[in-house]
A and B are shown apart, each in its own frame.
Chain A
C-alpha cells in the first residue's frame, strides 16, 4: 500500500514536533525515519499509526483519507520499542491476540499464529512466556503479532535499540528478510544511520521536526542537500573545513591553505564549509594536484591507510591507498575525487 502525507504537522503546545511534511512512501518498500533523538520521527510514526492525533495536514493510505481514523481501523501493525508483549500470555496467545479481538475462532487463529511464528522463526517457543525469551526472540514475537492481521502497513518504533550489538546486526537482516517475504510496506524509526543505510530502500532524514532530505541511502550519501545530512551519514564522519571562495579556490579562514575547486555555483567571497568524505582524497604523484597537506599521523589498516592531514591549520581524516607509503611530517600533493566533495553555504548550511 502506498502512503501519502500532505502538509502533515504536529504541535505540542508551543513545540512543533513535525513541521509540514509532504511525501509519498511507495508500496512494498522498507522506509527508515532517521534523525537524532527529539527530531520528531517517533511522532510521525505515531501519527501514521493513529495513536497521536494530527494537528494539521492529511494522511492517505492509497487513495483513502485516514487522517481521523482510529488506529484499529487503519489496518496497521505496530511494533513497540519495548515490544509490549503481554507478560501473562504465551508466545502463541500473544501472536494470536489481534485475531482473538477480531473473534476469529480458536483453531483458525492458532493455525495463523503458527504460520506467523514460522515466518519469524519462533515456532519452537510457542508455549513460553515473554519473560523466558531473549530480546531478539521477543522482537520476533512482536513482529509476528503485528503481522498476523495482515496489515496494510507495518510500523516499527526503534526496533533494534533494545538489543545488544550482535543481535542488532542479526535482527536488522531479519527485518529485511521478513519485509521482503511478506512484501508489506514497512516504516521504521531509528537514530542509527548505519542501520538505516544498510537495510532500507528509502531514508527520510529529519531534524527538529523539519524534513532534511528523503532519498535512497546511496543517493543521500552521495548527494546530501545540506551540511546536516552530510554530517549525519557516513562512518567515519565527513571532514568539515571552514573558509571562503576565491578565484576558483576554497581558502581556509586564516588563509593558511587552499583547495582547488570546480564548482560553477560558488561565488567569489562567499563564506562556505567544505565537506570531504574520508575516501574522497587520493595522493597525486605529479604536479597536477588540488591541494597540498602535511601528514600529521598515519595508521596502517590493512588494505588502506588512515591518515590525519594538516591543511594549513585545519586537520582532516582520510583513507589513502597504501600503494604510496607516506611518512609522518612529509608534505604530500593530493587530488580530490569526483564523489564525496561538497560545498555548503556557511550561514544556511545549504549545498552550493
Chain B
C-alpha cells in the first residue's frame, strides 16, 4: 500500500509542470506555438489593423476609429463586390448541392464501367482551377466556344458570355457561376457518396416491399437519411464560396470582369485594395466584414442542421 502512495507524492512534489494538470500542456505546446503565430496572431492583427485609420504599408497612421468600415461600406466597388459574392454563393451552393446529390445517387448504383464515370466526375478536384479556367475561357468564346455551339443546336444564342455590349456585361456573372458549380461538385460528390454508402440498404428493401417507387424512396428515405451529410457539404461549400476569387481570374486576364470593375468579389476587392492600392486598413476592415458574414451564415446553417438531427 505504501509504495504507490510514495510514488504519487514524488510526482506532486516534483517539478510542477510535470504534475497531472501541467503534463498535457507540454504535449500541446508545439502545436499551440504554430497556431499562435500563424492563426491567432494574424487574426488579432487584422482586427487591430481594421481600426487604424489611414493605415498604409508605409506605416502612416491617423489614429483609431471606425473610419475604415464607413469608407469600405461607402465604396461603390465593394458594395458591388458584396452583391456579386452573394449572387455567387446563393446560386452556386444550392445548384451544385442539388446536382451533386443527383450525381452521387447515380454513381452509387452498380453499373459497368462505374470507375470511369467516377474518375470523370472527380477530375476537377485534381486540376488547377486557374489552368482549367483558361480552357473554360475558350469554351465560353463568342464565336468558337463549344458552349455557344451547343446552344446553337437548340437555336439559342450566340451569347456573349465574356464580353460586353454598350458598357453592360450581364453574362459575366454566369461564367463564374457555371465554372464555380463545376468546380465545387467533385468534392461535394465524394462526401455525399460516402454518406450514401453509409445508408443501410435494408431501408430501401423495406420501402420497396411497401411499394415505394424510386422517386418516393429518393425523396422519403435517401434524402432525409443523407441530410446530415448534405448540411455538412453546404456549410463547407458556403464558406469556400464566400471566398470566391480564383474563379474570376482566368476569364478576363486577371481583371474583375470584362469592364474591369463589373465583377468584383469580396476577396478580389480585398486583394486589390491590399496588394495594388496598399490600403491595409480598408482591406483589413473588409476582411472582418467578410468574416462576420460567413460566421453569421454558418451559425444559421448549424442551427438548421441541429433540427435535422435524429
Contact = CB atoms under 8 A, between A and B. Distances in A.
Interface of A: 49-51, 71-73, 76, 78, 80, 82, 84, 86-89, 97-98, 100-102, 129, 131, 149
B209 A86 contact: no
Given A86-B221, A87-B225, A88-B224, A129 B208 contact: no
Contacts of A82: 200, 202
Contacts of B212: 72, 101
24 contacts: A49-B209, A50-B209, A51-B205, A51-B208, A71-B209, A72-B211, A72-B212, A73-B211, A76-B209, A80-B202, A84-B203, A87-B225, A87-B310, A88-B224, A88-B227, A88-B310, A97-B210, A98-B211, A100-B220, A101-B207, A101-B210, A101-B212, A131-B310, A149-B210
A51 B209 CA distance: 8
Given A101-B216, A129-B310, A131-B310, A84 B205 contact: yes
Contacts of B208: 51, 71-72
Contacts of B209: 49-51, 71-72, 76, 78
Chain A to chain B: the 4 pairs with minimum beta-carbon distance, closest first: A72-B211, A84-B206, A98-B210, A88-B224
B222 to A, nearest CB: 11
A195 to B, nearest CB: 22
A274 to B, nearest CB: 46
Given A88-B225, A88-B310, A102 B206 contact: no
Residue of B210, B212, B224 with most chain A CB atoms under a 10 A cut-off = B210
Interface string B251-274: 000000000000000000000000
Contacts of B220: 86, 97, 100
A87 B220 CA distance: 11
Nearest to A72: B211
Interface string B130-141: 000000000000
A72 B210 contact: yes
B224 to A, nearest CB: 4
A51 B207 CA distance: 12
Contacts of A102: 211
Contact of A86 (B203, B205, B308): B203
A73 B209 CA distance: 8
A97 B308 CA distance: 19
Nearest to B227: A88
A97 B202 CA distance: 15
Contacts of B207: 97, 101
Contacts of A97: 207, 210, 220
Contacts of A71: 208-209
> For chain B, which range describes its interface: under 10, 10 to 19, 20 to 34, or 35 or more residues?
10 to 19
Contacts of B225: 86-88
Contacts of A73: 211
Nearest to A90: B310
Nearest to B201: A84
A32 to B, nearest CB: 21
Interface string B15-41: 000000000000000000000000000
A78 B210 CA distance: 9
B209 to A, nearest CB: 5
Contacts of A72: 208-212
Residue of A84, A89, A102, A149 with most chain B CB atoms under a 10 A cut-off = A84
B206 A78 contact: yes
Contacts of A101: 207, 210-212, 216
Contacts of B206: 78, 80, 84, 86
Given A78-B206, A102-B211, A149-B210, 14 more contacts: A51-B208, A72-B208, A72-B209, A73-B211, A76-B209, A80-B202, A80-B206, A86-B203, A86-B220, A86-B221, A86-B224, A88-B224, A129-B310, A131-B310
Contacts of A88: 224-225, 227, 308, 310
B205 to A, nearest CB: 6
Contacts of A51: 205, 208-209
A76 B208 CA distance: 12
Contacts of B205: 51, 80, 84
Contacts of A98: 210-211
A84 to B, nearest CB: 4
B270 to A, nearest CB: 41
Interface string B182-222: 00000000000000000010110111111110001000110
A191 B206 CA distance: 23
A89 B202 CA distance: 16
A98 B211 CA distance: 7
A148 to B, nearest CB: 9
A178 to B, nearest CB: 19
A101 B215 CA distance: 11
A129 B207 CA distance: 18
A98 B220 CA distance: 12
Nearest to A151: B209
A84 B202 contact: yes
B202 to A, nearest CB: 5
A49 B209 CA distance: 8
A100 B208 CA distance: 13
A72 B310 CA distance: 28
Nearest to B228: A88
Nearest to B212: A101
B200 A84 contact: yes
Contacts of B210: 72, 97-98, 101, 149
Nearest to A148: B210
A154 to B, nearest CB: 12
A71 B208 CA distance: 7
Contacts of B308: 88
A42 to B, nearest CB: 13
A102 B224 CA distance: 20
B231 to A, nearest CB: 13
Interface in B264-310: 308, 310
A50 B209 CA distance: 8
